[in-house]
Amino acid sequence: MSNTFIDVSRINQNLSRTSDVSPSTVLDILETAKKAKGLDMESTLILLQVEDPELQEAMFEAADYVKNLIYGKRLVLFAPLYISNYCKNDCAYCAFRASNSDIARRFLTQAEIRLETEALLRQGHKRILLVAGEAYPPGKDLDYVLESIDTIYSTWVDGANIRRINVNIAPLSVEDFRRLHDAQIGTYQIFQETYHPDTYKKVHLSGPKADYEWRLYAMDRAFEAGFDDVGIGVLFGLHDFRFEVAAMLQHIQHLEKTFGLGPHTISVPRLEPAHGAEIAMDPPAPVTDHQFKRIIATLRLAVPYTGIILSTRETPQMRREAFRMGVSQISAGSRTNPGGYGEEENAEEQFSLGDHRPMEEVIVDVMKLGFIPSFCTACYRLGRVGKDFMDLAKPGLIQAYCLPNAMTSFAEYLEDYAKPETREMGYEMIDSMMDDLPGEKVRQHVAEALEKVRDGHRDVYL
């Protein structure tokens, strides 16, 4: 195997060293983790392997503590928008794989993208994750994606538009990344799927994605092209989760060392059943619910300032439990087929979803759990991205912005989209959170901003 920053033998050595440690060692690690300065690989691997229920509970509490310290009680909401399922890769786990002739290939025209965006705006969404398979539709090139971004940003419904588009499309060359960056997107996101080189080879059978290193160095090219915010992830279920998390830490360390900046977000997709993808029905390294919760809590403690994204692949129950373990962003009301928001049937979806609830139901649930749903896009719009964001996030200052902006953006949602009973519940929550704001001056600013929202002003943020 070639020489990359993923050091397989070092991970394996650490794995064998960390499988059996005393409870006091675990408790010491949790104390260190609560300082929110992150953890090294050895401590991370120890936490990932904690089986004792009491120690696990202590770990979940520590993760909740750190998440609150950094982000407060807010959960950012977004929805994916699939623009095309054309793909030239053969990923053994995905329904969009080139060899799956059972699905109809489809890409959205700009008019259809506008309709999908309108449907999402009517639900109250302000953030979209644009997703596509790795092939431009017939006769198209990168311009198709750039035009789609432009279409989404320029679609308005009742005075509202999408304020941040994150993008999950195949890795590009530095030159093409520059063009994507110029389209004013938020985070560029791509998952390595598995960092384990041999497993990677087994599940990526053909196409450009079969090149492990091209994908591994995608974030390097994105940073070189000028991106500030990138999102990484692993598709859990393909290889041993402990190896994957350790390798993800090596990826983060590599980015920090090379560019002075780690990823903005980490996604934690778990393999879900997908049509025409046997491996997805019977994952080679399944991750149990218990292990999954440990992964999320450990990540929150190991890289405290990084956003953790949980999608609707997971069931409502798992999502509820994961919120308190450090998840900071969730998708809601999602469809994973192109054209899914305008259609009754979910034909040609990429994989099965675990959470089918409409957005408002998710919002009510999130509130009942004590979290405030946030549609905030302020940091990105004010240029608080990349290192500037991390400099704020690391000492916990982001709470002075995150919570106020969660409150104002949620108030907008309540005014414009919520049913009366949701609105009442939402404002009660907002009122109760005034005391959590850091200082009288911030409280005053937020009270004024909320008044503006009630008076009909929109896009009010601090």
Q: Which residues of the shown chain bind ligand SF4 in the complex (CB under 6 A)?
A: 87, 89, 91, 94, 96-97, 133-134, 209
Of the pair 93, 259, the CB lying nearest ligand SAM is at: 93
In whole angstroms, how close is the CB of 318 to ligand SAM at the nearest point?
14
351 contact choice in ligand SAM, ligand SF4, none (CB below 5 to 8 Å, kind-dependent): ligand SAM
In whole angstroms, how close is the CB of 12 to ligand SAM at the nearest point?
24
DSSP 223-249: HHTT-S-EEEEB-BTSS-HHHHHHHHH
Question: Distance (Å, rounded) from C-alpha 75 to C-alpha 371?
Answer: 6
- Residue 312 backbone dihedrals phi, psi, to 5 degrees: -80, 10
C-alpha to C-alpha distances, 193 to 29, 79, 92, 203, 382, nearest whole angstrom: 28, 21, 11, 10, 32
274 contact choice in ligand SAM, ligand SF4, none (CB below 5 to 8 Å, kind-dependent): ligand SAM
The token pair at 120 is: 């999402």
Per the listing, tokens 């959170």 go with 433
Of the pair 277, 308, the CB lying nearest ligand SF4 is at: 277
Binding site for ligand SAM (CB under 6 A): 93-94, 131, 133-134, 168-170, 190-191, 193, 235, 269, 271-272, 274, 277, 280, 313, 350-351
Of the pair 271, 400, the CB lying nearest ligand SAM is at: 271
- Residue 372 backbone dihedrals phi, psi, to 5 degrees: -100, 125
In whole angstroms, how close is the CB of 334 to ligand SF4 at the nearest point?
16
| Residue count of the chain | 462
The token pair at 37 is: 């300065």
In whole angstroms, how close is the CB of 147 to ligand SAM at the nearest point?
18
97 contact choice in ligand SAM, ligand SF4, none (CB below 5 to 8 Å, kind-dependent): ligand SF4
Burial 240-271 (b: 16+ CB within 10 A, else e): bbbbbbbbbbbbbebbeeebebbbbbbbbbbb
Of the pair 93, 417, the CB lying nearest ligand SAM is at: 93
261 contact choice in ligand SF4, ligand SAM, none (CB below 5 to 8 Å, kind-dependent): none
Of the pair 137, 304, the CB lying nearest ligand SAM is at: 137
User: What is the helix (H) or strand (E) element at residue 266, kind and residue range?
Assistant: strand 265-267
Of the pair 89, 377, the CB lying nearest ligand SF4 is at: 89
